Structure 1
Amino acid sequence: MSYSTKKLSEEKVFKDPVHRYIHVRDQVIWDLIGTKEFQRLRRIKQLGTTFLTFHGAEHSRFSHSLGVYEIVRRIVDDVFKGRTEWDESNRLLALCSALLHDLGHGPFSHSFEKVFQFDHEYFTQAIILGDTEVNGILRAVEEDFPQKVAEVIAKTSENKVVVSLISSQIDADRMDYLQRDAYYTGVSYGHFDMERILRLMRPWEDQVVIKHSGMHAVEDYIMSRYQMYWQVYFHPVTRSGEVILNKILQRAKELYEQKYQFKHEPKHFYSLFEGNLTLEDHLNLDEAVVLYYFQVWQKEEDPILRDLCHRFLNRNLFKYIEFEPSNNEYKKYMSLVKLFEQANINPEYYLVIDSSSDLPYDFYRPGEEEERLPIHLLMPGGELRELSRESEIVEAISGKRRTDHKLYFPMDILKEKQMDESVRKEIFDLLHIT
């Protein structure tokens, strides 16, 4: 028996609050879970700074990755198996790609990506293709198997059915994180009838489609995603935590570039600050390491870094007002910048515009930078129909991007800092502080 088909002597089962059980029968999958690169995901939160808003949101990329694997396992083993449109030889490729799809995430996920301009998908591929335990296991399957997995995750694979299982507008990744994030945040928005959607999924030429009878379950899924983004992922308090996190990293980088003498040298950040983050350095970064630095930086001489770290660790977050960056509003912002400078409050770190944007569903727009494969319904006669052509609910939100802007500032500093009272009054008036 080859390594690619080798089964465990006894099935391993993970208890899971979302899927009840996660089943592992394949030796390859079990070995991948045991690698140090995959175990590192236990030390990366799934939802970044959301725990500052929803105290239960402490779950990890590790549990999410297992969940995505389990959904794909159920699809390929229970739904697709035996169907003429499904090539059984793609089974292990689908399972490995699902399990490893988030392998390259850094601490607090997207915040690090914004400040240091790197892409977690690049590092996911680097781990899969590099000198790692994960690569050794994948190469034991087949010499070019790591490349095949990396291509699926990069969405460049010719195997479009496997790609769409993991990355499309209705995929295993989204189906797991919506339910998992809803569970851990304690909200009801992320729930939908996944069982019905899975039962009605079908492999069809170069994509996964849904039987027409499952349309209402898909509508529920789309609306669930819409609500989760605006009620959880883009929650203004979560965004305030993320603003402060971003500003800590920005300040530390700026101080490093200014040759500032840190009391506690940020050795783990050197290659990040210098713009040449190595794979080894990336793998050595997790949230425990980052929080250690935030802890010790509270004793730094630099007042901005010290204050921001204290705010993040003790949840003394910025307040916010609604902000629409039109001409009038932007003039107001520029006036505030000048007033902050007069009050000796650095606006670069203490007056921050933050924008969030989401497109809940989109039809196919060929040639766009990010092409979104639409959800297709398989009609009773065998033809395919794009979802928004059949569903009035989805049509109403299709292609409509919603964007929200907020202006963040430290209320406590504005109230307590010594400054000219006329300056304080003008700031308060512009920010509508009573």
Structure 2
Amino acid sequence: MEIPYKLQTLPIEKVFKDPIHNDIQVEHQVILDLINAKEFQRLRRIKQLGTSSFTFHGGEHSRFSHSLGVYEITRRICDIFARNFSIEKDPVHGWNDDERLVALCAALLHDVGHGPYSHTFESIFGTNHEQFTVDIITSPFTEIYQILNKVEDGFPQKVASVITKQYPNKQVVQMISSQIDADRMDYLLRDAYFTGTEYGTFDLTRILRVIRPYNNGICFTTNGMHAVEDYIVSRYQMYMQVYFHPVSRGMEVVLDHLLKYAGKLYQDSPAFFERTSPCLVPFFEKNETLEDYLKLDDNVLTSYFLVWSDHPDETLSDLAQRFLNRKPLKSVKFVAEQDEPLIEEMKQLIEKIGYDAEVYTAINTSFDLPYDFYRPDSVSSRTQIELMEYDGTLIELSQQSSLVRALAGEIHGDERFYFPKEMLTTEDNLFSDIYQQFQRYIRNGKINKHN
């Protein structure tokens, strides 16, 4: 009798060696087939950290390796739950291991819809990686759909509903998407490792030891509170020191303006882009399909930028060269209402030198909420972290931890004004007065300089 596809396991488990988790173990045939699907293999060609690799040279890892890591953490959580907290032991709060496969598939595929340079690309072309993830999982034309649909009819839609947080089992949803989930735990450890930043690390082993299922999601035992605190602080530090690094954002601004300027130039000279950058044309025309989206990755865009760097249009060529050769825009931190008049004066000085301020300056805002408690009236309320007392009662994390309470509900980050690095030189005697005036604004004004 043939074993149903959903129950098929490998004769010998497949092991992927990994610098974060040591061994990533694959036992299910379904998981191995998904890893080998072309839509998943595409993630090898998309960097996890986007432009941050221009600041932290070791940060060259891919969304492929991150996705495997999220799968592995989820697999370990399922093992812990099945071994210690099964539904047979606790019919009310226990884990039903029949949910394992949908959890593992969702964990593996949660980022499959990311595009080249991820969030920068999204902001320019109005795409949404989560929607593309759902589309890739549920489109009958993808290899991923065809694999999932072999499990059972409707299984692709089940996996997609975990991504959209509509899946009825909240334990599965919160494993993949909550304020302390497999996704965040992997990217913090992985990004810290590859960027060489120790403050992004935390005790994953301890967190997995104190994680528990309950009838409405996942929680952590009270005696594991300090490990959870460590995770929250590590996440805060990574955002402040790595993800929001001003140089990475300076490269992001260059990339943003390069693609926007290319889209503008396309309107006047489509033939050049149709010949040299065909995969971007549907996005310039705003009629892209899923098939168009899946043709793009970091390598495709980089090859286009190399061609654009020789374009006769000086601005397109210059922006492409700045990105390829790591020439980020410089920045100063400012307070919006207080410094806006000064920003306008600085833009005018930049225009006098000969730069188009629309192309060569930018306001970049980066803020994050390290931890938040549940706010039912919020537009996108977060699932708060719950601690389980010895008697089984739950208490929200910040009610127990003064450290987390200090971070809870507080938004952290800054606003920066980006401008050409050349404005910090005085070599051009023709414009030396303008350079000096610009620099006086930075030194003596209310703006806080930070390179």
Q: 1:78 aligns with which of 77, 80, 94?
A: 80
Q: 2:280 aligns with which of 269, 274, 293?
A: 269
Q: Is the 8 A contact 2:276 2:307 kept in 1?
A: no
Asked if 1:89 is matched to 2:89, the reply is no
Q: 2:394 aligns with which of 366, 369, 384?
A: 384
- 1:147-186 residue CA offsets vs partner (Å, 9 max, x unmatched): 0100100112222111100000000000000000000001
* Cα distance, 1:332–1:10 mapped onto 2, change above 3 Å: same
Aligned to 2:352: 342
Distance 1:399 1:261 in 2: 51
Aligned to 1:25: 27
Distance 2:369 2:194 in 1: 24
Asked if 1:431 is matched to 2:442, the reply is yes
Seq. identity, %: 50
Q: In the alignment, residue 61 of structure 2 is paired with which amino acid?
A: H
Q: Is the 8 A contact 2:14 2:26 kept in 1?
A: yes
- TM alignment of 1:24-423, pairs within 5 A: 24-81=26-83, 83-84=86-87, 85-130=94-139, 131-259=141-269, 262=272, 265-327=276-338, 329-412=339-422, 415=425, 419-423=430-434
Q: Is the 8 A contact 1:192 1:221 kept in 2?
A: yes
Cα drift, residue 242 of structure 1: 0.7
Distance 1:258 1:360 in 2: 45
Aligned alpha-carbon RMSD (Å): 1.6
Q: Is the 8 A contact 1:225 1:360 kept in 2?
A: yes
In structure 1, runs of 5+ residues without a counterpart are none
The TM-score normalised by the length of structure 2 is 0.93
Q: Is the 8 A contact 1:71 1:176 kept in 2?
A: yes
Distance 1:242 1:418 in 2: 31
The TM-score normalised by the length of structure 1 is 0.96
- 1:253-284 residue CA offsets vs partner (Å, 9 max, x unmatched): 11112346537532111111122221011100
Cα drift, residue 47 of structure 1: 0.3
SS in 1 for 2:187: helix
Distance 1:61 1:18 in 2: 14
Q: In the alignment, residue 86 of structure 2 is paired with which amino acid?
A: R
Aligned to 1:8: 10
Question: Relative to structure 2, which stretch is displaced further, 333-342 or 300-309?
Answer: 333-342
- 1:193-236 residue CA offsets vs partner (Å, 9 max, x unmatched): 11111121111012101111110000000000000111111111
Cα drift, residue 413 of structure 1: 5.8
Question: Relative to structure 2, which stretch is displaced further, 346-355 or 102-111?
Answer: 346-355
Distance 1:221 1:298 in 2: 43
Q: How many residues align?
A: 433
Q: Is the 8 A contact 1:262 1:300 kept in 2?
A: no
* Cα distance, 1:270–1:417 mapped onto 2, change above 3 Å: farther
Cα drift, residue 365 of structure 1: 0.3
Distance 1:342 1:309 in 2: 23
Cα drift, residue 419 of structure 1: 5.0
Q: Is the 8 A contact 1:355 1:406 kept in 2?
A: yes
Q: In the alignment, residue 435 of structure 2 is paired with which amino acid?
A: R
Cα drift, residue 146 of structure 1: 0.3
Q: In the alignment, residue 76 of structure 2 is paired with which amino acid?
A: R
Cα drift, residue 424 of structure 1: 3.2
Question: Relative to structure 2, which stretch is displaced further, 78-87 or 374-383?
Answer: 78-87
Q: In the alignment, residue 388 of structure 2 is paired with which amino acid?
A: L
- 1:132-151 residue CA offsets vs partner (Å, 9 max, x unmatched): 00000000001100001001
